[in-house]
Structures are given as structure tokens and as C-alpha cells.
Amino acid sequence: MRGLSVSLLLRVGTGCVVTGLAAWAAGQTSENGATAEKTPAPTADTTPADEPAFPKIEISAEAQRIHFSGSLFDGHNDLPWTMRAEANSSFDKVDIAQPTKFHTDIPRLKAGGLKAQFWSVYVPSSSAVTGNATVMTMEQIDIVDEMLRRYPEHFQRTGTAAEVRQAIADGKIASLMGIEGGHSIENQLGLIQRFYDRGVRYMTLTHSKNVDWADSATDEPRHQGLAEFGREVVREMNRVGMLVDISHVSPATMHATLDTTAAPVIFSHSSARAICDHPRNVPDDVLRRIPKNGGVVMVTFVSGFITPTEQLQREPKARGTIFDVCDHIEHVIKVAGIDHVGIGGDYDGVTSLPHGLEDVSKYPAITQILLDRGYNEEQIHKILGGNILRVMEAAEKVAHDLQQKGN
Ligand SMILES: [Zn+2]
């Protein structure tokens, strides 16, 4: 039974939707797959040929109805970077209206019931050293613009919560962008407004390295949180109406941001540190501050951030399962509350994803598991997208008020 998490045992014990899970678990051997984000060459199928397939999760008619009537709004998808790295930034090279070898394509987005997406316009921290972070970020925005131009029947550019709701009502995938790392603004406050004007609605303050004004969770602490310029960045984002994303930052930076911001924050793709003790995850003392701030923790699916600590110690390359991801969702609910949790998959940003969440078609299984665990339609709709839409509205109001005051 090596590799079987506690949650899995409980799930097997209670029967529910999965059949054959015990057989799958018994057949598990040491698993493959890296845990780092933004490693290239993603493939849709990460299951080696000699590994038994993870049991299919049957989606009931009720789960189907709840899932597809909700507003599934994912906080982080790296398709733009994958298009750059794997397709020369060209939708002629890879037409996402057809099945791709990536985690993401339009047929599978439809199957997954995705209604809204923050497309990541990530560029690596190394671009801060080479001096082309801003230019590269603009190029990533160009890729998203081209995608929206090219597939207008599927995607709709949106900038506000009201526009997201309208796009969903029109049957389109509401599309916004998120910058991943403060290096993209090259220490220029004025770029926040310029990026906003191009469709960017959040900025993660750091990626895996510190910036000149904020500490990353995965670098040596330098600022004990936010430098004074970092606080200015947060205030300018509040004024402009760009969500402050504190995924990837150190706990001290999380606290400093919560001390500074006038608007609710987001974690666009982070999970709970109490379950998986990775420095990049959200500790409970931060989770406890989220209700007062009003923000949302969008739980990510990255294997290295969701597999329980004890299991990762035994099997550093374990992929984890969709049940582990649901454990993270439940932990955030337990500590921060049902109004402060969302979904931030990180598809196409990683090589290793949990069993049961291999690509963007798999989201409905989350709804099924939440339903099995006793959550009702209203609660599931909050998790899928209601909470992030509320956060967007609140941040829009803060920006409006600050602009009225001429701040
Ligand atoms: Zn990331």
C-alpha cells in the first residue's frame, strides 16, 4: 500500500465514486515526474506504460449539472509560455482548436467546463538579469491577444467581474491575464498601469527568485517581506485595480502585503502548507488572516505542492492525487472559510500533475468529489468561481474609490 495517502484510504473506505482505487494503489510503484514549475516539454499523458491507469472517476448527472452551471474560473494557466517554448509562439504551428500534446486545448477546456481563465504571461526570473523582462512580458501578452483574435467563438477578452459574467452568459471563456513575478515591471511603477491597459488583472509579486523589493518563498530572505518600494507597488496596484497575487512569495512577504493592501489579495496558484510543507504553500497563520482581508486562495494542482509531506519524504517524485487536491481545498475551508477558496491549476506550467487531474478536461471530477464529501451546490459554486469574482468586484471598488480620491 506504499504511496497511498490517508485521504485515499478514507475515500476507499467510504466507497463513493471511485472503483478499483485499492487495486490501483496496490499496483503503485515509485512514480515519475518532476515537481518544478516551468520545466519544458509537458505531455498530456504522464502515466508510464507499466503503471496501472488511475481509476476513472464517474461524474454523476447531479455533479455534471452543478459543475456546468457554475463559473469555473482558474487562477493560473501557462499555455502562453508553452506556446512560446513548444510552438514558436505560433497558433499555425499548434492549433489549439484541435487536440494538442499540451495540458490545454479548446476541446478539453470545453469538456472541463472552464468558464474563465487568468492566462499567465510569465517570463523567467532570469530575464531580470538579461534586462528584457518587460519586453518579454509584452510578447507573452501578444500571444494571448493573438489567441483571442484567432478563436473569437471560444474566448472573450474581459477586464471586470461584470464582463466575466457577461462572457460566460454568452458561452465564451472569459479571458484575463496575470503577470507572474514583479521582475516584469523592471522597478517602474508606471508599468503597472500599462500592463493593466493591456489586460493584465493580477501580478504575482515574485516568482522563484527575490525581486529588488520583495522576497520569494524559494530564495534567501533579503527584505524581511516588502521593501518600501514593494509597499508602493502594492498601493499602486490597489489604485489601478490590479489584484495583488501572493503566490510564490515568502510568508514574511505575505504578511507584509496583508498589512499594506487596501484590496483583497489572491493566491493565484498555491496550496496549504499544513498538508504539504513546501515553502511556496500558504501557512495557517496566513490563512487565518484571509477572512478579514477578504481574499481567496486558489488551490493549485502541482504534484510537489499537493502531495502530503510524509509521502513526499518517502517518494520525492510522487504525483499525488485529485483526492489530495480536495484535501487542500478542505483545509483552506477549515482555516479560512468557504468564501476564501478557489481553483488555480497551473496547467502547462509543470510536468507533473496529480492522478485524476492530468489535463484541463478533468475539472468536473473535483466537483464530484466535493459533492461526495457533502458540499452543496452553493458552496461548490463559490469554490469554482464565485469567490474570485467577489474578490475582483471588491478590488474594482477599492480602485474606483482610490481614483475618486485622487490618490
Ligand atoms: Zn508559478
295 C-alpha to center of ligand 1: Å?
A: 18
* Rounded Cα gap, residues 282 and 254, in angstroms: 9
Domain boundaries, the chain: 63-404
259 C-alpha to center of ligand 1: Å?
A: 23
| pLDDT of the residue at 10 | 37
Mean pLDDT along residues 90-105: 98
Q: Lowest-confidence range among 12-21, 43-52, 96-105, 339-348?
A: 12-21
Q: Which long-range contacts (CB under 8 A, 24 or more apart) does 190-195 make?
A: 191/134, 192/233, 192/236, 192/237, 192/240, 192/242, 193/236, 193/240, 195/137, 195/141, 195/242
180 C-alpha to center of ligand 1: Å?
A: 7
207 C-alpha to center of ligand 1: Å?
A: 7
Alpha-helical (H) ranges within 227-321 are: 228-240, 251-260, 284-287, 290-293, 303-306, 309-314
Confidence of residue 54 (pLDDT cuts 50, 70, 90): confident
Catalytic residues, by residue number, are 76, 78, 180, 207, 248, 269, 346
Quickly tell me which residue has 489567441 as its cell.
147
Is the pTM value of this prediction over 0.85?
yes
Mean pLDDT along residues 198-214: 98
313 C-alpha to center of ligand 1: Å?
A: 22
Please state, rounded to an integer, the average pLDDT across all residues of the chain.
91
Q: What is the CATH number of domain 63-404?
A: 3.20.20.140
Kindly tell me if the per-residue pLDDT of 7 is higher than 60: no
Q: Lowest-confidence range among 2-16, 57-71, 151-165, 211-225?
A: 2-16
21 compared with 139, residue with greater pLDDT = 139
Mean pLDDT along residues 197-214: 98
108 C-alpha to center of ligand 1: Å?
A: 22
pLDDT in tens, 260-318: 999 999 999 999 999 999 999 999 999 999 999 999 999 999 999 999 999 999 999 99
Kindly tell me if the per-residue pLDDT of 150 is higher than 90: yes
Q: Are 133 and 191 in contact, with CB atoms under 8 Å apart? A: no
65 C-alpha to center of ligand 1: Å?
A: 31
